[in-house]
């Protein structure tokens, strides 16, 4: 942040909570190179969380928040579910309103920010569970994509309704026995990534959150493409270790097992031609920026 944006009046400094002092002093806001490697070395946008111990959603949250390209101008939208237990701890503005309406909220929010801040970047990022994204909120998920709303939708796919105790969801695998699927789920996992592509998303990725550098890349791509072109969608496997009977150390292995080439979370991506062009342009600029930095460093040394 721009440390410009976030300051504490000197008279107030002592009485501000230590976290706020720390945020002002050590945040990575405004740093173009911010990313997952900052985790643990500088102030993060999330410290504590109230998820189950070892829940992969907590890793996913850290990687995503560390990778936001402009957190000082990002507003997130959540939904009811395990994620809604985390958002109150998050150090950027975020909205929880109802269960399943996240893409409708984000639509209104993004449009309001566009009207109010013409010419400025204001990124909107939705982060919700699979029940919220695919079942109760599907119409609003899809309609936002049809309308080409310029924000990123992230689905934490744990293949069930975790927060209400492990009921069947549309993204659950066929045959899985769960609450409300007493004889096993009778239909296939909904193919939302394909539907997203057909619905007009310009960037779609289906993967697990086992690799922080990968998450950093897809988050940055998704947000930049949404900012410039149109809707983007990330479906991230964050297994509910509690409901699939794993212990707190086993989340990472579960993700690694599920991302093998023949498995349902093998890395898959779709990038529209327009988005490809943008990514190429961005890569060129990035190269130039790094070269320039090197030149500057060399001239300082010389």
Partner 1 sequence: MATQSSVGEKNKAGQTITDPWQMMHDAERTPCFFTGSEVIKEALRRANCDIMIAYPITPQSEAAALAGELFAEGFIGDYFRGESEFAVMSQCAGAAFGGARVFTTTAGPGTMRAMENFPMWAGARLPIQMIVTCRGINSPLSIQPDTLEISYLLNTGMLVWHAETAQDFYDWILKGYMVSEEPDVHLPLALCCDGFFVTHTKDMVSLTPADMCLPPYDPYRSPVPCMDMECPPVRMMRDPFIMKSNYISYATHASWQQEVWAAVERSRKHTVRWLDGLIEVENPGAEILLVSSGTAVSQGREAKVLLEEEGIDVGIVKIKSLRPWPGEEIREATKNAKHIIVPEFNVTGWMAREIKATIPNSERVYAGPRVCGGMTLPPEIIAADIKTLLGIKNKALAGRGS
The residues of the shown chain that bind ligand TPP, judged by CB under 6 A, are: 80-83, 99, 128-132, 156, 158, 161-164, 169
Nearest distance from C-beta of residue 190 to ligand SF4, angstroms: 19
What does the binding site for Mg ion look like in residue numbers (CB under 5 A)? 129-130, 158, 162
Which is nearer to ligand SF4, 51 or 271 (by Cβ)? Answer: 51
DSSP of 72-96, one letter per residue?
Answer: GGEEEE--SSGGGGTGGG-SS-EE-
Strand boundaries in 250-289, DSSP class E: 268-271
Helices 56-67 and 251-258: crossing angle in degrees, nearest 10, is 80
Question: Can you say how many angstroms the Cα of residue 238 is from the centroid of all Cα atoms in its chain?
Answer: 12
Report how far residue 228's alpha carbon sits from residue 232's, in angstroms, rounded to the nearest whole number: 11
Q: Which of 131, 44, 50, 128 is nearest to 85 (CA)?
A: 50
73 versus 243: smaller Cβ distance to ligand TPP: 243
Which of partner 1, ligand SF4, ligand TPP, none has residue 130 at its interface (CB below 5 to 8 Å by kind)?
ligand TPP
Q: Does residue 254 belong to the site contacting ligand SF4 (CB under 6 A)?
A: no
Say which residues have a Cβ less than 8 Å from residue 98's Cβ, sequence separation at least 6.
79, 80
Q: What is the DSSP letter of 52?
A: P
**53 by DSSP, 3-state: which?**
coil
Write down the least CB distance from residue 166 to ligand SF4, Å: 8
Task: Give residues 273-292 in contact with ligand SF4 (rule: CB under 6 A).
Answer: none
Phi, psi at 265, each rounded to 5°: -110, 25
103 vs 208 by CB, closer to partner 1: 103
- Pairing mode, if any, of strands 268-271 and 203-208? antiparallel
Torsion-angle region of 185 (φ positive above 0: left; ψ -120 to 50: alpha; else: beta): beta
Q: How far is the CB of 28 from partner 1 (least distance, A)?
A: 13
Shortest Cβ distance from residue 67 to partner 1 (Å)? Answer: 17
Q: Say which entry of Mg ion, ligand TPP, ligand SF4, none residue 243 contacts (CB below 5 to 8 A, set by partner kind).
A: ligand SF4
Choose among partner 1, ligand SF4, ligand TPP, none what residue 52 binds, the Cβ cut-off being 5 to 8 Å by kind. Answer: ligand SF4
72 vs 257 by CB, closer to ligand SF4: 257
In whole angstroms, the minimum distance from the beta carbon of 102 to ligand TPP comes to 10
Partner that binds at residue 145, options Mg ion, ligand SF4, ligand TPP, none, CB closer than 5 to 8 Å by kind: none
Between vectors from CA 157 to CA 156 and to CA 163, what angle results, nearest 5°? Answer: 80
Q: Give the C-alpha separation, 6 to 72, whole Å.
A: 9
The residues of the shown chain that bind partner 1, judged by CB under 8 A, are: 1, 5-6, 16-17, 19-20, 23, 46-48, 50, 72-75, 77, 84-85, 87-95, 97-98, 101, 104-117, 122, 139-140, 143, 147
């Amino acid at each position: 942040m721009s440390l410009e944006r976030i300051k504490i009046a000197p008279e107030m400094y002592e009485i501000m909570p230590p976290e706020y002092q720390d945020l002002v002093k050590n945040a990575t806001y405004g740093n173009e190179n911010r990313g997952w490697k900052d985790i643990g070395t500088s102030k993060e946008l999330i410290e504590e969380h109230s998820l189950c111990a070892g829940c992969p959603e907590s890793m996913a949250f850290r990687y995503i928040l560390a990778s936001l390209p402009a957190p000082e101008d990002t507003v997130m939208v959540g939904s009811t579910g395990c994620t809604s237990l985390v958002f109150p701890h998050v150090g950027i503005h975020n909205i929880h309103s109802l269960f399943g309406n996240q893409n409708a909220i984000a639509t209104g929010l993004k449009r309001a920010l566009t009207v109010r801040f013409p010419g400025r970047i204001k990124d909107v990022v939705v982060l919700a569970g699979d029940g919220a994204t695919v079942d109760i909120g599907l119409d609003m998920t899809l309609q936002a994509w049809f309308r080409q709303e310029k924000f990123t939708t992230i689905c934490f796919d744990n293949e069930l309704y975790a927060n209400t105790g492990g009921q069947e969801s549309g993204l659950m695998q066929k045959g899985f026995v769960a609450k409300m699927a007493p004889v096993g789920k009778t239909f296939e996992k909904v193919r939302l990534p394909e539907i997203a592509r057909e619905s007009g998303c310009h960037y779609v990725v289906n993967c697990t959150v086992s690799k922080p550098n990968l998450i950093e890349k897809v988050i940055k791509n998704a947000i930049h493409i949404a900012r410039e072109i149109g809707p983007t969608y990330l479906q991230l496997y964050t297994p509910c270790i509690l409901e699939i009977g794993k212990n707190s150390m086993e989340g990472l292995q579960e993700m690694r097992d599920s991302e093998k080439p023949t498995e349902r979370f093998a890395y898959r991506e779709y990038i529209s031609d327009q988005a490809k062009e943008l990514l190429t342009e961005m890569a060129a600029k990035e190269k130039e920026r790094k070269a320039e930095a090197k030149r500057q460093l060399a001239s300082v040394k010389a």
